[in-house]
Structure 1
Amino acid sequence: MSGLGRSLYAFAALIALQVGANAQVSDNAIRIGVLTDLSGPFAETNGKGDVVAVQMAVDEFGAKVLDRPIEIISADHQNKPDVASAIARKWFDLEGIDVIVDVPNSAVALAVNEIARAKGKVVLATGPATSELTGKACSPTTVHWTYDTWMLANSTGKAVTVSGGDSWFFVTADYAFGHALERDTTKVVTANGGKVLGSVRAPLNVSDFASFLLQAQSSKAKVIGLANAGADSVNAIKQANEFGLTGGGQQLAGLLVSVVDVTALGLEVAKGLVFTETFYWDVNEQTRAWARKFGERRDGRIPGMVNAGAYSAALHYLKAVAAAGTDQGLAVVNKMKELPTDDAVFGKGSVRADGRKIHPAYLLEVKRPSESKGAWDLAKVRFTIPANEAFRPLSESECPLLKKD
């Protein structure tokens, strides 16, 4: 058993002695629902990988908390808020789900966030990006893990702008995530002396980006900001390379790119691309060890930050359930905010009053094929953004939870 595993067992045993017969669990199990994209544009970055990551957290915790078994189920939300909402209601009302994890697609996450708020249930939003989840839409039972649009804009967006990319054109996914990412990046670009020449909205899961990229090319902007994710980012970058956009002097900025996407693109296509993640497998011995365990369960696939986020959030949730002696939603989230976070993927961190999980972020650059020493050796860390600088400060938050009576 690993040192982390031994410490978790010891932690659970100590808490069990403390709560004893006072533990209050709503039924005979702690049930985790992984609501994800199993068949669409985020299936590779999220999907089954996030189910595996949550299972890793459960296994490391001993598959039991408060002397109750921990169960996991998963479902495909199909990137449709109505489908996701129906699943969430069924899970909460009929299937005893205590917490929903992942929910990639910001429109889906915002819908599920409201259902969970009304029912006092927990959402660990490890997959979506919109910073509204810790802004106007913040909820006392939702924790936003992994990353968000503010972080992406203030890392990739700022780095590219101050490096000379002072004119931008956005190709934006036409739903909540893309709109939020374009908005947040625009603020950063203009704040750092740049200007935005225009934007175009592309439907989710579109396969042909030709017309959108041609508009970006004709804008003469130095930087084409791709405010999309998953398969959409991969397709847009591949087609931009085919059209020779970067050869004409324009730079691509992938505002939400994962190492999983880089694997799909290949180093020859992606070389030099700058992007930001809050987890990279090769940062230290702990991240490398966890990544190897993940790869063993995922047919040798590399983990991305959303996989790491699903693991980290589920692990901290279970610690909070044990410490609170209950699975009652508000009590557990309050305990999550009280307890410091510490795990193999993000190291030490915390959960703020607005529900924002805080940890460092890494500005990465894709390596050239000649620099790579293996299938997973995809990027180099250009800069580490400290935890206290990586996310929107509380002073700028519009979260109603922060308002004083």
Structure 2
Amino acid sequence: MVAAGTVAPGVDASLIKVPPPGPGAIKGTVTAEKTGQPVTGVEVCGEQMGVVGTFCDTTEATGGYEIGGLTAGQYTVKFSPPADYFTQWYSGASSAAGATAISVAAGATTSGIDAVLQKPPSGPGSISGTVTAADTELPVPGVKVCATQVGVTGSRCETTGTDGKYGFPELPAGQWLLTFAAQGTSRNLLSLSYPNKEIWETPEPVTLSAGGHGTVNAKLKTGGQISGTVRVAATGTPVAGVRVCLTEANVFGSLACLTTPTSGAYRFIAVWPGSFKVVFSAAPGEFPDATPIVDTYSTQWWAGQPTYATASPITVFSGANIAAIDASLALIPGPVTDPPATTTTASVPAPAGAVAAVKKVSKPLKCKKGFAKRKVKGKARCVKLKKHVKKSKGKHKKHGKKSA
């Protein structure tokens, strides 16, 4: 106690100067995803947000690291492992933009900044999927699915099961072209090239990485139909054993052929939108039919025409049923009048007759004006036509004055 007006001696103090806060640090452990084992040799770098420059450390045998000498602020941390692991940012981001910011206080260590590294997939990959009908969404069995690697000769083909599924295991990495052929389904469905192209067009490639998997589904559209009945001109009775073939209206060539049963009825299914012509009882050599039939009836093109050039074209649009493409055949050539075709988009029950699915594997060659189809080294090509210039019969003489 100090009395008023007095001085208490010996009340001394020794002050200690407090140093400014030291640098902060970030520490953690790096392990492998599948094994949980530590990963050594990983470069771990911290970068202060808004400041140029990084501070780095490398993981030890324990997988541990510690980045020191950091000023207070917000940091992102990048883990750069050996080549057999993916690079990542904290926490688990694949880029700096998705990284989680870490707060570092002066003189403090922010711990627990760990990373679990993933290895890139290796080995063969696979492609699988499901084929369904576009209008019903139901699976389509019996579709032939073929995969062709770009730049490699040969294809791998599988057929869809009752569930519409297919699969190609053990595929090497690369680009793959997929086609879906519906001819084996006996259904009125159009084949396609991935993703939604005509079957004769080049598919868009599907890129498959090593050890990766691709899911490629397909929806097959409903095709058009052309149907009719073949009868004897004199009696109107159905004719069995007549060969009926379909071709494009602007490209002469067989798309599909069938033989009429006792009902005389026929039907072409899976016809894509376009213009077509139908021939009845074509003699061998008149039409490119793989299995022509020799019968006692004269060849006839619809409607009652004798040649491909004069035959009436039949226009088919998406999902249409073109009926009454009939023929009345005579034993001797003669003019025949056929009833007009009827067109409907409604479902038409198939007659008790022959049915054939239309198949096309290559795009027809069409030449522009001034060019014509020619075979060059066994392949069809468009060749420019040469212009013919008429030459005058007389000889041209030069006229000029003689010098005196």
Same fold (TM over 0.5): no
- Normalised TM-score (structure 1): 0.24
Greater gyration radius? 2
Higher-RCO chain (CA-CA 8 Å, sequence separation at least 6): 1
